[in-house]
Structure 1
Amino acid sequence: MPGACPHFVFACFKRVERWADRLTGAAGPFFVAIATLLFIIGTLCFLDVILPSIAWPWLSTLPCLLIILNLFAHYYFACMVSPGFASDPPPRTGNGFIWAKKRQTPHRPLTNGVRWSANLNITPASTSRCAKCGGSKPERTHHCRVCNRCVLKYDHHCPVGINQCVGLHNERHFALFMAYVVIATFCFTALGWPHLFVALGFNFNDEWEHRMSPVVFSIIYFLCLVMCLAVGTMFTWHLWGVAVGETAVESQDHEHYQQVAQSRGEIFQNSYDLGKFKNLQLFFNLGPDGYPIYTLLFPFRILPYTDGRSWARKPGLERHHGIYVGEELTDEEDN
């Protein structure tokens, strides 16, 4: 039969993909341990070699230590904070010192899981039944093959970096972790290149007088250079997705929706896209109805503006424009 061969090849690729997911999922703790070790060694290299040589240490030491604190704290939160599973009850704001204090706003607080004022177009999320786990699946929720659970506002599963899904409740920490990785590695490479010449033996007038091995410092320097470029690219792409109101999964879905709408002579409109500034404001939960902007400079815990059961939408829309009911892509397309 003509269609049998392509179907068989596709099935084989899907099987290989599932085995790869299981393999990387099993090796996730190992990758996290390696990443943590590299962060620690890089920090020791910076504190031992670069920081003492920076001008005005009384002014530069505190920002450097703050960058290091944010790097490790947001990495810890990205790994340990649950991404938000559809079967779990919505979490509550904690009372510890790691939780940021929200602005006092005179606006009437909304119910149905949204923590912003009534100046947004809030609509409840449509729900369906997951064909893979049988649980209730609110809108923007996807079933993760590795975790075998439905994740609220699922973006992707990250076995190499944080060994879990990136979803509603840890995506902010994941994004800020990438931001501070870029800042830290850029500072390391920008401030450490004179020491690199000494470590490699190119500067014969200076001797290596640090506790850290010059070989280790050189390896960490080149790793920082690669990570600055690689993570910087990932962070830019991820932040752009946030700015246009879509996750990694939704960006692929929306390309399909645009083609479907265009075939009918219509224009697809993403109902979650409120404009780049408002999208970023909601994602980081900042502004008059959220938290102060200084929460980007300190590793505070902050709940998202919604619990995933309701969403802010473009005014006048209660669902995507240009796509009819029943045309939305679901996780069943992976079968």
Structure 2
Amino acid sequence: MAYLIALSFNSRALHDAVKLNVATDKMFVFLVVVLTSSILVIVYLILLPMIISTYPPIWVAWHLCYGHWNLVMIVFHYYKATKTAPGYPPTEKNDSPFVSVCKKCIIPKPARTHHCGICNRCILKMDHHCPWLNNCVGHLNHRYFFSFCLSLALGCVYCSISGRYMFLDAYNALEHFKHLDVEKSGVPVTGMGVLIGLLPPGQTNYQTAAPTYTFKEKMIHKSIIYMWVLTSTVSVTLGSLTMWHAILISRGETSIERHTNSKETKRMANRGRIYKNPFNYGKLNNWKIFLGVGKTSHWLTRVLLPSGHTPPGDGLTWDAFPVKKDLIPV
């Protein structure tokens, strides 16, 4: 009886912990949506009108095309990464090979499958649990996760580079307005041409000091500073994370396998042997498998454009040991 009571208590505690983790993850998702939306509002209300009215037509077309392509890629891959199940092993016995039995799920675990303590279930080819997605990253949504990270990082780099002059102008404008009460009328004001005169970045517009500082002007300057600081910060942090995952993909590893392979490499080295990752098929083949590229046109239709195709294989069985030939049929 005591054992049953303890088991019931542990199950309830685990259930409550899972609910708490889910609630926390939803807050992270909400934060992603709010921060991304705030940047879009600033771009459409402040930056885009300035670009259309001041830039040459060819540059306007470039910003419109690239910016909206980048936005579509971000939204599509984030939605798919959050809504696509990572892939779960069958709960009933079947003919699929397995390497062990999960001590928590009490079901057979295929190769590359790991148990997620937050989702409280086994995940096929699990990479990690991402609170920003409120979802695990596994076999079926790993590509969506990486494409979202890459698209968002590129978008932040784009905003950071293209908005660097506007950031300096906004910062100098705020510093000027702080000392407006002690400045004399007629003193040249530099660096405000982009924000007040709507001139191209880097161009100086000499104007006399304005007698008043409206709330709208203040919010425009602060919004541009906020956008530049946020996108620059995300560019560094998310860009580093994206590069790390790109290295793992090139090696045919997940984040979890990176740790286990490192330990196995050291263990084999102590015995005078060399460990080889059985799921490393070569850099090019690793990327083809990860992206689902089977022919040349897929680099456009499945990589550069949004695509909902599923990854090759079922996530239950994997070809072991490196091979030189292409693993995806044309």
Question: What range is the shorter-chain TM-score in?
Answer: 0.7 to 0.9
TM-score (norm 1): 0.72
Cα distance, 1:59–1:233 mapped onto 2, change above 3 Å: closer
Q: For residue 306 of structure 1, what is the aligned residue in structure 2?
A: 313
Once the two structures are aligned, what percentage of the paired residues are identical? 27
Q: 1: CA distance between counterparts of 2:48 and 2:244?
A: 31
Indicate the RMSD between aligned Cα atoms, in angstroms: 2.7
Once the two structures are superposed, residues 110-131 of structure 1 have per-residue CA deviations (whole angstroms, 9 ceiling, x without a partner) of xxxxxxxxxxxxxx75343211
Q: Per chain length, whose mean CA-contact separation is higher, i.e. which structure has more relative contact order (CA < 8 Å, sep 6+)? A: 1
Gaps of 5+ in 1: 1-18, 90-123, 317-335
Does 2:28 match 1:31?
yes
Show the counterpart of 1:257: 264
Aligned equivalents of 1:290, 1:245: Cα separation in 2: 23
How far 1:136 moved relative to its partner? Answer: 2.2
Match 1:194 to one of 158, 165, 178 = 165
User: Structure 1's 125 and 87: CA in aligned 2 closer, same or farther, altered over 3 A?
Assistant: closer
Q: What amino acid does structure 1 have at the position aligned with 2:121?
A: R
Query: Residue 240 of structure 2 aligns with which residue?
Result: 233
SS of structure 2 residue aligned to 1:157: strand
Q: CA deviation at 1:59?
A: 3.9
Equivalent of residue 40 in structure 1, options 21, 37, 42: 37
The answer on 1:138 being equivalent to 2:110 is: yes
- With structure 2 as the length reference, what TM-score do the two structures score? 0.73
Partner SS state of residue 318, structure 2 = strand
Aligned residue-pair number:
264
Q: Which amino acid aligns with 1:312?
A: D
**Residues 26-62 of structure 1: CA deviation (Å, up to 9, x unaligned):** 3111111111111111122223333342542234312
- Structure with the larger helix share: 2
Q: 2:317 & 2:63 partners in 1: Cα distance?
A: 44
Secondary structure in 1 matching 2:133: coil
Is the 8 Å Cα contact of residues 50 and 191 (structure 1) preserved in structure 2?
no
Structure 2, unmatched stretches of 5+, are 1-15, 174-190, 199-215, 324-330
* Deviation, structure 1 residue 292: 4.2
- 5 Å-filtered alignment, 1:1-335, equals 24-52=21-49, 53=51, 54-55=55-56, 56=58, 57-87=60-90, 126-159=98-131, 161-202=132-173, 203-205=191-193, 207-208=195-196, 213-288=220-295, 291-315=298-322
Query: 1:78 Cα shift?
Result: 0.9
Residue 289 to residue 268, structure 1, CA distance change in 2 (3 Å): farther
State the AA in 1 paired with 2:165. Answer: P
Secondary structure at 1:213's aligned position in 2?
Answer: helix
